[in-house]
Chain A
Amino acid sequence: MPDMSESESSAAPSGALSRDDVAHVAKLALLDLSDAEIDRFTGQLGAVLESAAKLAALDLGDLAPTHHPFGLTNVTRPDEIVPSLDRDIVLAQAPDIEDNRFKTPPALGEDS
């Protein structure tokens, strides 16, 4: 169930990007960054976000966001079967397989 409260904050970003912020984001982005990389990114991302802060200061009132420039709506396809891929071709690309499945190191967490 999505938690709507998450993105309701509309406060302008405050304060500089911290090293901890960068480390947290790296975790979300699934990147193992070295201390040196975290330091470097903290500075570089901070510079980009500083220029982005100018946007945050713009009063755009009730302008709707644009997610798609052409404004198409209701694009669908008929519920008709299209042939699937040949399994051998699909699995040939896999780093590892077992039992015609994609094999990975153990997934932690919940059963699906």
Chain B
Amino acid sequence: MTESFQTPSATSIAAGVRDGSQSAADVIDAAIGAVEAREGELNAYNLVLADDARTAAAAIDQKIAAGETVGPLAGVPVAIKDNMCTTGVATTCSSKILEGWVPPYSATVVERLAAAGAVMVGKTNLDEFAMGSSTENSAFGPSKNPHDITKVPGGSSGGSAATVGAGAVPVSLGSDTGGSIRQPASLCGVVGVKPTYGMVSRYGLIAFASSLDQIGPFTTTVADAALVLEVIGGHDPRDSTSIPEPMPNLTEALGKGVDGLRIGIISELSGDPSLGSVEGIAPDVAARAAAAAAALEAAGASIEHVSIPSSVHGLPAYYLIAPAEASSNLARYDGVRYGLRSDGPNALAMNAASRTEGFGEEVKRRIMLGTYALTSGYYDAYYGQAQKVRTLMIDEFNAHYQNFDLLLSPTSPTTAFELDAKTADPMTMYVNDVCTIPSNLTGQPAMSVPFGVGDDGMPVGVQVLAPMMGEATMFRAAAVLEEAARV
């Protein structure tokens, strides 16, 4: 494991580039060097944009030389999950069905990052169409965990987590539908944020499950996560589900500590059977979550266990809602307008042949599941019931947020597992999302903060959960945990 280069934080890079103490060109050169040095073993990228990145960096340096203003992320290398559209740059969702597709437009987040001076260095690998928890379901081969390349980086945003976890770049973007930012962040030892649904525009994010998908950052520090979220967040009129409210100030909240905050540990996700926890949460992971609670308590927060019975319904509800929406969202890959086309005697047969050839097994499985859940006669029992469970969960979580400022749980039930360990049985893979799914169903924000290592020496993350638009408070706790983990 080579640790020759460790990227500085985005905050310090941008400060250096803006005050002229370093050039964006040098920053980008170093980042590309680090990316390329690890790419052979990590397979974190579907595409490295070395030339484009160097051109963009030179443009920023020219602006600075000309005395023009540059944004808060000037010269900061960022990696973008390859399910976000980038004008003129191939976007694949790690699927054969989109091979060769070049979007004619960019996602809002990509535009906002560029406007802030960030430099895109590449498009990162993912589970095909973001369906998975290990990045093994990629048409371009699995990504590896930067801390142990025999292990998975988590998923679906595994490439984005791996490249930040490797220290190659300080910032990447992922998307989180059921934990696809937080779980790989936990497994790769980085900060990962799933914002409030509607805080970050989904325009240009290739949909998996529209009512659950949210874009968020991976960073090496909590402060960087706050900075990036402030850049990419905020109302976008091109997304009807975008929240038309001003962004909360997150960087300002960072130093405020947790003194006086009331924080609840979710019993059902605590790993403690005596508290009614679900099975499968590893003791070493549970121990780190308990240690995190203790650290918050030491910093002045009050800590209490809280039972949220509906949280255990998250997993089955999610595995109806997400596939149902996906089955419709992925219908457009029909071989008519873009992407892969296979031969067929008529349009319908061509469509089926293209999808059969172009989609991988997990995507097919979820399309099948979702199609079934929406079939006439089963809609009310499956999809309709799952959406009611969502309401139940929202009501329960909101009730607890009357008494608690934040909630706490492990992020992932285990540390990073071996490649191929869970590919045979989809259900064992699905269980990985048990702690992260509730926030997607409720729309509430949650983030994973690295908090030490497990028995195997691999990173463990703890999850901080907050009510709708409660990011500022969430970041206060995250900053405290980051500080405590350093000691």
Interfacial residues, chain A to chain B (CB-CB below 8 A): 6-13, 17, 21-22, 25-26, 28-33, 37, 41, 44-45, 47-49, 51-52, 54-56, 58, 60, 63-70, 72, 75, 77, 85-86, 89-90, 92-96, 102, 104-108
Contacts and interface: CB of A to CB of B under 8 A. Distances in A.
B352 A11 contact: no
Interface stretch (B106-114, B186-194, B251-259, B310-318): B310-318
Interface of B: 101-102, 104, 196-198, 211, 237, 240-241, 243-244, 313, 315-317, 319-320, 327, 331, 334-341, 344-353, 355-356, 359, 364-365, 367-369, 371-373, 375-382, 384-392, 394-395, 426-427, 430, 441-444, 468
A13 B388 CA distance: 16
B392 A60 contact: yes
Nearest to A11: B381
Contacts of A25: 368, 371-372, 375
Contacts of B196: 70
20 contacts: A9-B377, A9-B380, A17-B372, A29-B355, A30-B351, A49-B382, A52-B320, A55-B316, A55-B386, A56-B381, A63-B388, A65-B390, A67-B211, A68-B211, A70-B443, A72-B198, A93-B102, A95-B341, A107-B347, A108-B346
Contacts, number: 194
Contacts of A52: 316, 319-320, 373, 382, 386
B368 A26 contact: yes
A102 B339 CA distance: 13
**Chain B interface mostly:** helix
A93 B196 CA distance: 34
Considering residues B339, B381, B386, which has the most beta carbons from chain A within 10 angstroms of its beta carbon?
A: B381
Contacts of A64: 388, 391
Contact of B353 (A7, A32, A49): A32
Nearest to B430: A48
Given A7-B380, A48-B430, A65-B387, 6 more contacts: A22-B368, A26-B368, A28-B371, A30-B331, A48-B426, A102-B337
